[in-house]
Amino acid sequence: MLILTAIGAGGLVQVKVVNADEQVSMKDGTILHAWCWSFNTIKDNVQAIKDAGYTSVQTSPINTVVAGEGGNKSLKNWYYQY
């Protein structure tokens, strides 16, 4: 298990990162679905996310983006979101 410390607008915030095979109880938690958010956007807003009452952040699957069509990342190229 890893414990990360991120710097948010209000100071240091501790973020717990668990292994994929480890279960985390979300019985009383609230998940922010931050799909299509960059990790930097999440990091820059971690204090606001916490202040809003979220206890976990779910991201899009991590993968490499194929830069087709000369790197055009237009929303018409839906696959850039996955």
> In the chain, which stretches have pLDDT less than 50?
1-9
Among 59, 57, 61, 58, smallest CA distance to 46 is for: 57
pLDDT of residue 4: 45
User: What is the reported pLDDT for 7?
Assistant: 44
Nearest to 1 by CA among 19, 20, 27: 19
CB atoms within 10 A of CB 47: 16
Region of 2 on the Ramachandran plot (φ > 0 left; ψ -120 to 50 alpha; else beta): beta
